[in-house]
């Protein structure tokens, strides 16, 4: 263990020192070989953990399902985590612009690899940034992360390959579920207070209404009176069959729309931006589709 590392860790108050750095040199190389990873969002962190098992140490920055991620501001703690990271994974597409700034401003302890979900999936700033709701995103991120782990730790390549195969297999029931829902609900009009669920809605084939309202809400700007009126009309006249809302961003306007939906007997379901505690990415996605299917149970074409 190098003295410089010890001093850095003390300076960082041990908050984000990978366990390997706090171990003594007498411990085995298997323990000291843990790869320190920072994920900007905890759903990527969960997938990295599934792919790396106990060979990775994952720090997720956005991990509070009670906070609005769009309002997040990076702290010195975040910068310290990045300093030690060998692998950094973030969303991109302007969802987490603080990551670009931090990466530019933080010196790395060693060689640092950065994987950006938006780059892997061809998404740009201005596109809907909630990429983890788009079915092709996680397989692409998983393959890139697994390839990195195999190159950083080639002795355990077969282990990483097996974990990647298991993860991709674990996504299959999700794809099957989406296909079944598409066969039932293609073209069904729905609405949402924010575009968080947008890609999944597209995958199911819903007709998503009030998208301009949703973009304004996401960007913390006031939707136009006309857009608000159109949204309320959709609910009151039951032109939509479900209202999807982001439970991490429930301002006064969202609460009012939930009331209008309730009065009109339009079911509402909540989705979150951040992975809830105790769930894997795939369990989280499944549970939200369960809620959606439950809300649409009485619906008939
Ligand atoms: Zn969002």
Mean pLDDT value across residues 56-82? 85
Do 144 and 36 share a domain, yes or no? yes
What domain range includes position 239? Answer: 186-295
What is the per-residue pLDDT for 32? Answer: 55
Whether residues 41 and 106 fall in one domain: yes
Q: And the tokens for 297?
A: 């149970």
Distance from Cα 128 to the centre of ligand 1, integer Å: 9
Assess whether 111 and 198 both reside in one domain: no
Res 79: pLDDT: 85
Same domain, residue pair 108 and 50? yes
Euclidean distance between CA atoms 211 and 198, whole angstroms: 9
d(CA 62, CA 65): 9
Claim to verify: residue 69 and residue 151 sit in the same structural domain: yes
CA distance 293 to 262: 18
pLDDT in tens, 19-38: 443 333 334 444 457 999 99
Render pLDDT for 219-276 as a digit per residue (tens, 0 to 9).
888 999 999 999 999 999 999 999 999 988 778 999 999 999 999 999 999 999 999 9
The CA 272 to ligand 1 mean position distance, Å, reads 9
**Length in residues, the chain:** 301
Instruction: Please tell me the total count of domains within the chain.
Output: 2
What is the CA(218)–ligand 1 centre distance, in A? 6
Instruction: Please tell me which residue, 100 or 15, carries the higher pLDDT value.
Output: 100
Q: Is the same domain home to 103 and 60?
A: yes
CA of 273 to the centre of ligand 1 (A): 6
**Does 168 share its domain with 190?**
no
CATH of residue 113's domain is 3.40.50.1980
């Amino acid at each position: 263990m190098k003295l410089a590392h010890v001093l850095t860790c003390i300076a960082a108050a041990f908050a984000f020192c990978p366990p390997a750095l706090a171990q003594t040199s007498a411990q085995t190389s298997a323990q000291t070989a843990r790869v320190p990873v920072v994920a900007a969002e905890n759903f990527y962190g969960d997938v990295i953990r599934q792919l790396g098992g106990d060979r990775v140490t994952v720090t997720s920055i956005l991990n509070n399902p009670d906070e609005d991620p769009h309002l997040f501001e990076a702290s010195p703690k975040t910068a310290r985590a990045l300093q030690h990271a060998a692998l950094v994974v973030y969303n991109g597409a302007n969802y987490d612009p603080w990551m670009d700034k931090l990466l530019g401003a933080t010196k790395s302890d060693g060689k640092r690899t950065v994987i950006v979900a938006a780059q892997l999936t061809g998404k740009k700033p201005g596109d809907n940034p909630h990429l983890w709701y788009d079915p092709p995103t996680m397989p692409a991120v998983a393959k890139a992360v697994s390839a990195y782990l195999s190159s950083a730790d080639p002795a355990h390549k077969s282990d990483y390959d097996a974990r990647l195969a298991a993860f991709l297999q674990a996504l299959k029931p999700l794809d099957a579920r989406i296909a079944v829902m598409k066969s039932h609900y293609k073209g069904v009009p729905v609405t949402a207070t924010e575009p968080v669920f947008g890609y999944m809605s597209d995958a199911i084939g819903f007709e998503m209404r009030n998208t301009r309202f949703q973009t304004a809400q996401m960007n913390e700007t006031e939707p136009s009176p006309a857009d608000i009126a159109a949204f309320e009309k959709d609910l009151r006249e039951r032109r939509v069959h479900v209202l999807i809302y982001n439970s991490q961003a429930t301002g006064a306007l969202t609460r009012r729309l939930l009331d209008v939906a309730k009065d009109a007997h339009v079911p509402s379901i909540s989705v979150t931006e951040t992975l809830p505690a105790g769930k894997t990415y795939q369990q989280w996605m499944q549970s939200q589709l369960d809620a959606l299917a439950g809300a649409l149970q009485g619906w008939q074409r």
